């Protein structure tokens, strides 16, 4: 196995890959990406997701970057922006700090992915739909990864206090955003459609279709999905029997 070459981003003429192996296969700038991950982990260190398990918040931006990489994104600045996409909105970070630490291109993408402060949740959602088509390709890709990771999170462990309707409303809204952004990363339509058309989430022992307006209108559920639902219901029963304390979020 040939060693990973850790050049600086500036050495890449495309600004996305640090070097290439003799085979022509690109080698991502691992050192820069690790620095970005460490920065985000520090910024989000006291934050938790709003699910029953109160998972560390950093799992989300790292998961978004991993999704983009899985579906073919190799542009370093885009992957960095995926890792950093919630730092300005949810921590004490500002765009100027992102630019100082990681450069103007990363800062631009992060800024595009940051909702304006002091807006209601409804207004932010409306704004994301209204502006999605105007975003750069890189920002649209981050949006796609962000939505897919959130949808998968709701499938496995819905936020505490959310009703079935609120979860379904999120799936509906997310589809409005992802439909606009899909041309920037067409391959990601496969897992998105799998969720919108076929998947269910579980709340209080009952299964609900993620997007109730789409998919099989007869209500037929595949054997695979029935097994998955059964597993989620059994897990919920075990956890309730064992007992869960209400997690504290910051």
Q: Are 138 and 75 in contact (CB under 8 A)?
A: yes
Supply 91's token pair: 């921590």
234 a catalytic residue:
no
Q: Which residues make beta-bridge pairs with 48?
A: 56
Pairing of strands 200-203, 206-209: antiparallel
Among candidate residues 7, 89, 193, 236, the one labeled active-site is 89
Q: At what angle do helices 104-112 and 76-84 cross, to 10 degrees?
A: 50
Q: At what angle do helices 59-70 and 76-84 cross, to 10 degrees?
A: 150
Supply 103's token pair: 């450069």
Q: Are 82 and 138 in contact (CB under 8 A)?
A: no
89 a catalytic residue:
yes
Among candidate residues 7, 90, 94, 101, the one labeled active-site is 90
**Cα(211)–Cα(170) distance, rounded to whole angstroms?**
9
Look at the alpha carbons of 205, 210, 214, 220 in this order and tell me if their dihedral is positive or negative: negative
Name the residues annotated as catalytic. Answer: 89-90
């Amino acid at each position: 196995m040939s060693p990973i070459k850790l050049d600086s981003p500036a050495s890449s003429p495309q600004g996305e890959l640090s070097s290439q192996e003799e085979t022509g296969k690109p080698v991502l700038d691992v050192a820069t990406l690790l620095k970005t991950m460490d920065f985000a982990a520090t910024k989000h260190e006291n934050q938790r997701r709003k699910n029953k398990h109160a998972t560390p918040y950093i799992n989300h931006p790292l998961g978004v970057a991993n999704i983009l990489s899985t579906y073919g994104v190799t542009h370093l600045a885009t992957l960095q922006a995926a890792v950093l996409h919630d730092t300005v909105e949810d921590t004490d970070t500002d765009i100027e700090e992102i630019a100082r630490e990681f450069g103007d291109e990363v800062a631009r993408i992060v800024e595009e992915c940051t909702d304006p402060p002091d807006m209601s949740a409804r207004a932010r959602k409306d704004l994301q739909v209204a502006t999605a088509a105007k975003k750069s390709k890189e920002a649209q890709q981050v949006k796609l990864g962000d939505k897919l990771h959130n949808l998968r999170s709701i499938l496995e462990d819905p936020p505490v206090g959310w009703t079935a309707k609120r979860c379904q409303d999120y799936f509906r809204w997310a589809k409005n955003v992802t439909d606009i952004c899909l041309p920037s990363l067409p391959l990601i339509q496969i897992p998105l459609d799998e969720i919108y058309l076929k998947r269910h989430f579980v709340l209080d022992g009952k299964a609900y279709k993620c997007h109730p307006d789409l998919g099989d209108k007869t209500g037929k559920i595949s054997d695979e999905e029935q097994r998955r639902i059964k597993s989620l219901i059994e897990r919920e029963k075990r956890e309730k029997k064992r007992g869960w304390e209400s997690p504290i979020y910051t």
